[in-house]
Structure 1
Amino acid sequence: MSESAAARGPVIILVEPQLGENIGMAARAMANFGLAEMRIVNPRDGWPNEKAEAASAGALHVLSAARVFGSVEEAIADLNVVFATTARERGQQKRVFGADGAMAETVAHAAAGAGVGVLFGRERTGLDNDAVALADAIITFPVNPAHASLNLAQAVLLVGYEWFKASGGSLPFSVGERPVPATREAVLSFFDYLEGELDAAGFFMPPEKRSIMVRNLRNIFHRLTMTDQDVRTLRGAVVALVQGRRGGRNLPRKGRAGEEEK
């Protein structure tokens, strides 16, 4: 396996998959996380498979490049490091990794030019012990032990996700630059106005609790880390409520049927 191939991530090796749909969904999961090389060992329904193409959601480049092998030994012959996925302890005294730890090791191996592969077993029974014996280490997943079996494509997706993170993948977008908080002057002016109107409405009852209630109210707004726009919006909302209560001109006019006119 070439260094350029290793840089694309681990080879995904499906051992005797039974359903074309699962192969297609596995290809889709690979494409989601930048994995390019699929190898298939003795697919039950032959290859190529129209159902795999239909289920791939456009990951045809993965399927078109997929290679078919007659045995696991042939499929891993050119690889340097092989992981086997399994939900059961096999008593083979191999190192056991979660997908995150295995993919962290894969990044290091790939950087050194080594070819890494991950074996995935049949949908119903997983890998047999002989296939697991060919691997250097085991990948397993923290799942509910009462329902530990994963769909083939789900298992591929979990490995691909951890590979993408370990190799430097990042979120496609973020909130962006944090806005500048409002000045203390703007915040305190808002507090003064709000507390004055709440006094007029009789909110601070009983009077001896006013100072505690004011502190609690101010801390609610402080936790929001308000911007100047936030302060203006909140102040405008309170003004509208006060004017509405006092019969101000900003009230919506009523139509003949009692509906608000726009």
Structure 2
Amino acid sequence: MTGRDGGAPLEPLGNTPVVILVRPQMAENIGTTARAMANGGLFHLRLVSPRDGWPQDRAWRTASGADRILEAATVHDSVDDAIADLHHVYATCPRPRHIVKTVMTARGGAAELRAATQRGLRVGLMFGPERAGLDNEDMARADALIRYPLNPTFMSLNLAQAVMIMAYEWWMAADATPPRTLMTNETHVATKGELENFMGHLVRELDGCGFLRNAQKRPGMVRNLRHFFTRGEVTEQELRTLHGVVRELAHPRRMED
């Protein structure tokens, strides 16, 4: 196996899967694959018999800065050589084959990859050539197959897209980002005390201008106003703006010159 230089790939995050490109055909696709890998925290790339040899400068032009992944990539004459030091190998399978083997989704495969690496095992992900994908001999070397549940009437992915899906699922399998958050920038979500202060201000002015003059309806009208402001996460800045609005509305209307 040969590499362009001995540099380490970016910042490897522990024991991460090895991406194995089997007989890749275009240097540009290898470069965009490295870019996809870096996005998902995958840093180890192996090339099996690249059609145009290696290294290829065109790969660096499409890697968008993921250069060290390419620099540390190794070249192998066969799939057997590329996977010899791995404990588990998963192969992407774009179309059904006459093979009896476990088939998983990308999400299911990523979960198993995480579990294996947490036990200290080394794992690999195999991707086939751009036109035809992996052949039966390649897939016979894999422990399981991964197939993406995409639109069954159109399942066309380029190599980097296929790698990106697995890189994303690998990353998300351990990601703790909350599924929903409110961007407040320099302000903060208003506390109940701040909200109650505003409600008191609003109700006082509405009483003063006569809007709440119907004593029978007044409690329900105030509740409706309170519900309006407690349905979402109103920010402190928004409440300050509304205080200003109420103050201005409470003043006598000035006549224009």
- TM-score relative to the length of structure 1: 0.78
Structure of larger gyration radius: 1
**What residue number does 2:3 align with?**
none
Tell whether the 8 Å contact from 2:91 to 2:139 is kept in structure 1 after alignment.
yes
**What residue number does 2:67 align with?**
60
What pairs up with 1:68-79 in 2 under 5 angstroms?
A: 68-79=75-86
Corresponding letter in the other structure for 2:97 = R
**What residue number does 2:197 align with?**
186
Tell whether the 8 Å contact from 1:181 to 1:225 is kept in structure 2 after alignment.
no
Q: CA deviation at 1:185?
A: 4.2
Query: More helix per residue: 1 or 2?
Result: 1
1:231 has 2:242 as partner: no
Tell whether the 8 Å contact from 1:182 to 1:228 is kept in structure 2 after alignment.
no
1:121 has 2:128 as partner: yes
CA distance in 2: counterparts of 1:129 and 1:6, whole angstroms: 32
CA distance in 2: counterparts of 1:189 and 1:43, whole angstroms: 72
Q: The residue matched to 1:191 in structure 2 has which SS?
A: helix
Q: Name stretches of at least 5 consecutive residues in structure 2 with no aligned partner.
A: 1-11
Q: RMSD value over aligned CA atoms?
A: 3.3
**What residue number does 1:260 align with?**
none
Tell whether the 8 Å contact from 1:10 to 1:106 is kept in structure 2 after alignment.
yes
What pairs up with 1:110-259 in 2 under 5 angstroms?
A: 110-166=117-173, 168-171=174-177, 179=189, 181-183=191-193, 185-193=196-204, 195-196=206-207, 199=210, 214-226=222-234, 229-241=237-249, 243=251, 246-247=253-254
Tell whether the 8 Å contact from 2:28 to 2:61 is kept in structure 1 after alignment.
yes
Q: The residue matched to 1:82 in structure 2 has which SS?
A: strand
Q: Alignment identity in percent? A: 44
Q: CA deviation at 1:100?
A: 2.0
CA distance in 2: counterparts of 1:84 and 1:90, whole angstroms: 12
CA distance in 1: counterparts of 2:168 and 2:30, whole angstroms: 17
CA distance in 2: counterparts of 1:241 and 1:11, whole angstroms: 65
Q: Give a deviation string over 1:63-105, Cα, whole Å, max 9, x none.
A: 0111111222221122111101012222312111122221221
Q: The residue matched to 1:145 in structure 2 has which SS?
A: coil
Q: CA deviation at 1:26?
A: 0.6
Q: Name stretches of at least 5 consecutive residues in structure 1 with no aligned partner.
A: 255-262
- TM-score relative to the length of structure 2: 0.79
Q: Give a deviation string over 1:95-135, Cα, whole Å, max 9, x none.
A: 11122221221222223332211111111221112211211
CA distance in 1: counterparts of 2:209 and 2:108, whole angstroms: 56
Question: For residues 210 and 28 of structure 1, do their structure 2 counterparts lie closer, same or farther at Cα, with a shift above 3 Å needed?
Answer: same
Point out the more displaced range, 180-189 or 44-53.
Answer: 180-189
Q: CA deviation at 1:227?
A: 5.2
Question: For residues 44 and 113 of structure 1, do their structure 2 counterparts lie closer, same or farther at Cα, with a shift above 3 Å needed?
Answer: same
Point out the more displaced range, 79-88 or 183-192.
Answer: 183-192
CA distance in 2: counterparts of 1:43 and 1:190, whole angstroms: 72
